Amino acid sequence: MVYASLQSLIARFGEDEMIGLTALPGAADPDPVVAGQALADASAMIDGYLASRYALPLTTIPALLEPLCCDIARYRLATGGDRTPTDEMRDRHQDALTWLEKVAAGKIGLGLDPTGNEPPIDGGATGASFSSRRSRVFDAEKLADYDFRAWGGRLL
């Protein structure tokens, strides 16, 4: 499964950069085949990290995988031929890999259960529950004996 598209790359990094990274010199448009291969390679790399924690293919695709896929694909595109990635490209690529390593180690998650589905939000076993022993209710009767003069005779 591919986690991003050529349009995702263009939206994040601009059409001119994608033309420069994917197309032959003088082309007016990004090459969808070259970009598609880089995105497929990046997605496969992401899956390599996710496979240790989640059943693949993921049933629900978390939105945070798209920017990671774009950063990895962009770096891969910038390392081909006579191109050299910028420091920003290297940093974003390394940040993506570091984040994926944390997912693989179980330090952070995708918000999915191990089967790749979103966990139920019905307050069941996976949800949080809060309660208190008693509830205090402040009404006019309970506040009748309160000395408001300490507050200048008025409620704040």
Query: Quick check: is 12 in a domain?
Result: yes
Residue 38 has a pLDDT of 97
> Residue 142 falls within a domain, yes or no?
no
Answer yes or no: are the C-beta atoms of 38 and 73 closer than 8 Å.
yes
Is position 55 within any domain? Answer: yes
pLDDT digits (tens, 9 = 90+) for 2-17: 999 999 999 999 999 9
64 domain residue, yes or no:
yes
75-122 pLDDT, tens per residue? Answer: 999 997 788 999 999 999 999 999 999 999 999 988 877 666 666 555
Nearest-5° Cα angle at 126, 122 to 132: 80
**Residues 69 and 46: beta-carbon distance below 8 Å:** yes
Predicted pLDDT of residue 66:
97
pLDDT digits (tens, 9 = 90+) for 25-76: 889 999 999 999 999 999 999 999 999 898 899 888 899 999 999 999 999 9
Range of the domain at 61: 6-104
